[in-house]
């Protein structure tokens, strides 16, 4: 099971198999350092700083419940001894148990949904408690952020065989499908008006696409088949693949009304090596199309971005094997994210408008030197997961 996606990659492009294996080694090296000593939790981020000798050193900053749950979702695919190495001596199920025990203090719907999803996937005996917390925090008569609504559906899809979630499952599935604007294939940033200011209600991000398409694919696969859910997942996946950059970039901001790109940067490493692959693989496993070419193109960016390729964004390594990190993103470095703000405002009035001068003035030459544990959680989920 755990080699199927890697084996397919090796058949298609052997050099990329070596890259994927290298990245997975980095992930297993990096995760233990991201675990907070004595707190049984993961840091929000590992931020780089220059050491006196000019090398990079890393500092743990913050704590993240959702990142811990995503990490458990990925680490569960490792053999038990490697799960324990990554999770401070615990298996993925045992670590998820700590998260389940923390649920009474969890007030964020997305955090609770991810914990319930991890509980379902690891077979935790208190899954019903986790599901109950999601139900208590959700409100179907109010708008929710699309990413969190997608995680709710994924959690219910994973729990269907164990806990009676059918009524909630149907509501979560319908909410996600109805969130789309008109007949467009892409998803907005929120499931309904009310959460966002009017001038950016049309702007959605890459995560707003991958998590819903994954959730709907999982919903289809979890029961007797759901053609509408699968078709919506397929349409979204097809569109983001059509929009993929020439260098394999998965772009960041989209117009949910028109299905076009508003602003491409930043380009995030996690999208290239983990989030796009895990969502597209799950769709293929559910009966969707084969998006392997786009996955390989996106993965290739992780090295070509820094090796003087035809489409480089920056010329600096993004994979630091010895530190156990991949640098988080390549971005423009524009003050106060000016390019994204301008393009969000202008496309509100004139969909499709692009001010080319912004690309010339603010080139994507900056690197965000930090790394977050969920990046490795989804990487493990993408490349170690999958069906036989």
On whether residue 196 sits in a domain, the answer given is: yes
On whether residue 353 sits in a domain, the answer given is: yes
Residues 171 and 79 in one domain: no
Residue 134 has pLDDT above 90, yes or no: yes
For residues 35-56, one letter each, b for 16 or more C-beta atoms within 10 angstroms of the residue's C-beta and e for the rest, the string is beeeebbbbbbbbbeeeeeeee
Q: Whose structure tokens read 């997608």?
A: 150
Query: Residue 183: what pLDDT?
Result: 86
96 and 72 Cβ atoms separated by less than 8 Å: yes
Query: CA–CA separation, 216 vs 233, rounded Å?
Result: 6
Instruction: Give the percent of the chain with pLDDT over 70.
Output: 87
Residue 388 has pLDDT above 50, yes or no: no
Residue-wise pLDDT tens digits, 222-250:
998 999 999 999 999 999 999 999 999 99
Comparing 97 with 200, which gets the higher pLDDT?
97
Query: CA–CA separation, 214 vs 66, rounded Å?
Result: 17
DSSP structural state of residue 55: -
Residues 179 and 203 in one domain: yes
Residue-wise pLDDT tens digits, 79-94:
999 999 999 999 999 9
Residue-wise pLDDT tens digits, 337-385:
655 555 555 665 556 655 555 565 556 668 999 999 999 999 999 999 9
Lowest mean pLDDT among 93-97, 109-113, 299-303: 299-303
Residue-wise pLDDT tens digits, 252-265:
999 999 999 998 89
On whether residue 148 sits in a domain, the answer given is: no
Residues 27 and 122 in one domain: yes
Q: How far is CA 215 from CA 149, 152, 266, 346, in A?
A: 9, 8, 24, 31
On whether residue 102 sits in a domain, the answer given is: yes
Residues 219 and 269 in one domain: yes
Residues 220 and 337 in one domain: yes
Give the range of the structural domain holding residue 221, as residue numbers without chain letter: 157-315+329-368
Residues 196 and 100 in one domain: no
Sign of the Cα pseudo-torsion (343, 344, 345, 350, in order): positive
Query: CA–CA separation, 367 vs 314, rounded Å?
Result: 8
270 and 374 Cβ atoms separated by less than 8 Å: yes
> How confident is the prediction for the chain on average, in pLDDT?
90
On whether residue 146 sits in a domain, the answer given is: no
Residues 204 and 343 in one domain: yes
Residues 174 and 87 in one domain: no
Query: Residue 310: what pLDDT?
Result: 43
Query: CA–CA separation, 303 vs 316, rounded Å?
Result: 9
| 311: confidence class by pLDDT, cuts 50, 70, 90 | very low
373 and 29 Cβ atoms separated by less than 8 Å: no
On whether residue 151 sits in a domain, the answer given is: no
Pairing of strands 366-368, 329-331: antiparallel
328 and 370 Cβ atoms separated by less than 8 Å: yes
Question: In terms of pTM, does the model score above 0.85?
Answer: yes
Query: Residue 340: what pLDDT?
Result: 55
On whether residue 231 sits in a domain, the answer given is: yes
Residue 2 has pLDDT above 50, yes or no: no
Residue 268 has pLDDT above 90, yes or no: yes
Residues 128 and 28 in one domain: yes
Residues 307 and 381 in one domain: no
Query: Residue 386: what pLDDT?
Result: 79
Residue-wise pLDDT tens digits, 23-75:
999 999 999 999 998 878 999 999 999 988 988 999 999 999 999 999 999 99
Residue-wise pLDDT tens digits, 327-340:
999 988 655 565 55
On whether residue 18 sits in a domain, the answer given is: yes
Residues 7 and 74 in one domain: yes
Number of domains in the chain: 2
Residues 353 and 238 in one domain: yes
Residue-wise pLDDT tens digits, 153-210:
999 999 999 999 999 999 999 999 999 998 899 999 999 999 998 888 889 999 999 9
Q: Helices 292-304 and 4-12 meet at what angle, rounded to 10?
A: 80
Residue 1 has pLDDT above 60, yes or no: no
């Amino acid at each position: 099971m755990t080699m199927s996606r890697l084996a397919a990659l090796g058949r298609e492009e052997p050099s990329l198999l070596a890259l994927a294996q290298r990245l997975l080694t980095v992930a297993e090296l990096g995760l233990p350092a991201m675990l907070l000593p004595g707190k049984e939790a993961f840091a929000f981020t590992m931020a780089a700083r220059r050491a006196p000798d000019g090398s990079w050193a890393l500092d743990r900053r913050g704590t993240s419940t959702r990142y811990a749950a995503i990490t458990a979702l990925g680490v569960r695919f490792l053999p038990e001894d490697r799960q324990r190495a990554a999770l401070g001596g615990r298996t993925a199920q045992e670590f998820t148990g700590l998260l389940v025990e923390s649920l009474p203090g969890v007030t964020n719907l997305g955090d609770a949904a991810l914990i319930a999803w991890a509980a379902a996937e690891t077979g935790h005996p208190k899954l019903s408690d986790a599901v109950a917390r999601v139900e208590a925090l959700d409100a179907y008569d109010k708008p929710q952020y699309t990413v969190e609504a997608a995680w709710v559906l994924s959690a219910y899809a994973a729990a269907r065989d164990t806990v009676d979630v059918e009524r909630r499952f149907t509501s979560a599935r319908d909410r996600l499908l109805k969130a789309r604007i008109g007949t467009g294939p892409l998803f907005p940033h929120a499931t309904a008006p009310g959460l966002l200011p009017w001038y950016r209600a049309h702007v959605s991000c890459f995560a707003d696409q991958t998590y819903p398409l994954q959730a709907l694919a999982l919903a289809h696969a979890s029961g007797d088949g759901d053609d509408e859910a699968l078709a919506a997942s397929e349409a979204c996946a097809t569109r983001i693949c059509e929009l993929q950059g020439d260098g394999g970039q998965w772009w960041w901001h989209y117009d949910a009304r028109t299905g076009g790109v508003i602003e491409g940067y930043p380009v995030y490493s996690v999208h290239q090596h983990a989030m796009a692959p895990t969502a597209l693989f799950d769709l293929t496993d559910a009966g969707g199309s084969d998006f392997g070419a786009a996955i390989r193109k996106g993965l290739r960016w992780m090295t070509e971005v820094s090796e003087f390729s035809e489409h480089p964004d920056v010329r600096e390594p993004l994979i630091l094997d010895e530190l156990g990190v991949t640098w988080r993103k390549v971005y423009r470095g524009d003050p106060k994210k000016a390019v994204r703000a301008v393009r969000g405002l202008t496309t509100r009035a004139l969909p499709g408008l692009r001010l080319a001068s912004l690309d010339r003035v603010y080139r994507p030459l900056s690197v965000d030197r930090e790394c977050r544990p969920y990046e490795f959680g989804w990487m493990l989920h993408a490349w170690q997961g999958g069906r036989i």
